[in-house]
Amino acid sequence: MTGELQRPSRLRGGDRIAAVTLSWGGPGEIPHRYEAGKRQLEEAFGVTVVEMPHTLADPEFVADHPQARADDLHQALADPDIAGIISPIGGDDSIRLLPHLDLELVAANPKVFLGYSDTTVTQMAFLRAGVVSFYGPAIMAGFAENGGIHPYLREGVRRMLFEPEAPLDWPENREGWTVEFVDWLDPSSQNRRRTRRPSSGWRWLGGEPTEGTLVAGCLEAVDWLRGTDWWPDLDGAVLALETSEEAPPPDAVQRFLRSLAARGDLERLGGLLFGRPGGASLPPDEHERYDETLLRVVRRESFLEEIPIVSGLDFGHTDPIWTLPQGIRVRVDPSSERITFLEAGVA
């Protein structure tokens, strides 16, 4: 990846943050979950969350009108009183926004843009526009965590968006993790904390120290962009992938990586990071099957011994998560087992 990206201004207490529904109309379908995330976000960081015209719209309207969703994003970008934008939730529909997005407007108004899962697609548009965005919590998932925002998540948001520091080592979450399913339709579940499993640490799978620009996303959403103009530039990139709550099996990861190899992208990577697999139905003792897949394709099939691989990382469809800056240089050092953000993602 070449070229200097624009960094948005850091967030501050008192800022107005726009909630923009880009995919599934979750805020309109489960308003109490959205309100819980909004309240916890505002209390944690002293910001004010504001809705765009269609943020709370009926899910059927949201699904039928990708132009309206894009218009909301454009309105939030153009409004000088809005300092940042957060996606309420993911889905599988953001790809329909792409023909409607004004990349010149994105480039002219660099603002913090935060989300994960299907929001990957819009973040790849921000990369194409030359603007740093952030792969991290959504209002309804992460900020709305049952029983309150996890300290690890809060610290990642603070240090990436509000109080930038570089270089900064990505800390491991030592306080346990969860993918436990809780029915959001039941308001009474909001105050019940989810059961956490003990943290077993990241898994370092060899390779040489490297530096590169970070490109992060949900594997399924990135795969939808293959063959389009929105496919990210992976030359020298440290690619951070994670899998959704649908728990795609290791075979799906294998097919994706083999496609990268066929394109010539795999050999151009600077490093490969893999998040803890998502999905409440996936037994934790099967996580290492994904490691076997990474090693099979990268090492045994492609003979790429120098690419560092790290798995079991705290981002994506697991909780709690760290916030990752798209397009910022990082260093991955297997010898010291450290991942370091070399630049701040905000100005």
Give the pLDDT band (50/70/90) at residue 3.
low
Ordered by start, the domain boundaries in the chain are 16-167, 187-341
Fold category of 187-341 in CATH:
Glucose Oxidase; domain 1 (3.50.30)
Q: What is the pLDDT of residues 217-246, one digit of tens each?
A: 999 999 999 999 999 999 999 999 999 999
Of 79, 66, 59, give the one whose Cα is nearest residue 125.
Answer: 66
Q: For helices 250-263 and 287-295, what crossing angle results, to 10°?
A: 20
Q: What is the pLDDT of residues 257-306, one digit of tens each?
A: 999 999 999 999 999 999 999 999 999 999 999 999 999 999 999 999 99
CB atoms within 10 A of CB 25: 23
Q: Do the beta carbons of residue 7 and residue 130 sit within 8 Å? A: no
Q: How far is CA 39 from CA 141, 144, 171, in A?
A: 13, 8, 27
Fold category of 16-167 in CATH:
Rossmann fold (3.40.50)
The CA distance from 77 to 8, in Å, is 11
Q: Please check whether the two domains, 16-167 and 187-341, share a CATH topology.
A: no
What per-residue confidence (pLDDT) applies to 196? 95
The CA distance from 133 to 50, in Å, is 19
Residue 214 token pair: 């970070």
Q: What is the pLDDT of residues 103-135, one digit of tens each?
A: 999 999 999 999 999 999 999 999 999 999 999
- Cβ burial, residue 5 (10 Å; 0-12/13-18/19+): buried
Does residue 1 carry a pLDDT above 90?
no
The CA distance from 120 to 57, in Å, is 22
Q: Answer whether 0.95 is exceeded by the pTM.
A: yes
Does residue 52 carry a pLDDT above 60?
yes
